[in-house]
Amino acid sequence: MQEQIEQILIDRNQIAKRVRELADQIAADYRHLSDEASEDLPLVLIAIMTGSVIFLADLVRCLPMMMRMKLISVSSYPGTALSSQGVTITDELPDDLAGKHVLIVDDILDSGKTLMAIRSRVQQSSASSVRTCVLLRKDRPSARATPSEYVGFDIPDQFVVGYGLDYDDLYRNLPDVVTLRDEVIA
């Protein structure tokens, strides 16, 4: 696999440091929830699968607070597609979000369509608050125009894999965020 990598954009140490920083920021922003004594008030994280699974696991281990996790499957990069093919939400959102504080967690903010679609649906569920957290945000106008309260890294508008991101369901297990050689994705 290593011979297929063109460049390491963000190494595992940078990722680990930034995930801890994001968790600290999230914990500070939601500190009022830890003052509440009801189990109905923990933060609800909605993770967009499958790309966010590694980011989610590392992030939640750094959050010192009560939380619930819900997983939702969304498809926008089927198979060997290198750009978003539109958003297909394959799971229903949980129906118990009214009055809850919701944090949507995703791997990459690219076109913005996925986050906007999920955010809109969560807002329609009468959640008390809705914020988003992404590991990566691509340098493109649609990504910059999409609100995201927590952004791990801004990256060039390149196709990347690793740390949960894939190409044809491969490379998710790479510990760094990398680009692949042209002949691999041609």
- Annotated catalytic sites, by residue? 110
Residue 28 host element (H or E): helix 12-29
Q: Are 142 and 116 in contact (CB under 8 A)?
A: no
What is the pairing mode between strands 101-109 and 150-155? Answer: unpaired
Residue 88 host element (H or E): strand 88-89
Write the single-letter amino acid at 6: E
Largest CA distance in the chain: 56
Distance between CA atoms of 123 and 39, rounded to whole angstroms? 21
Closest CA to 33 of 68, 7, 2: 68
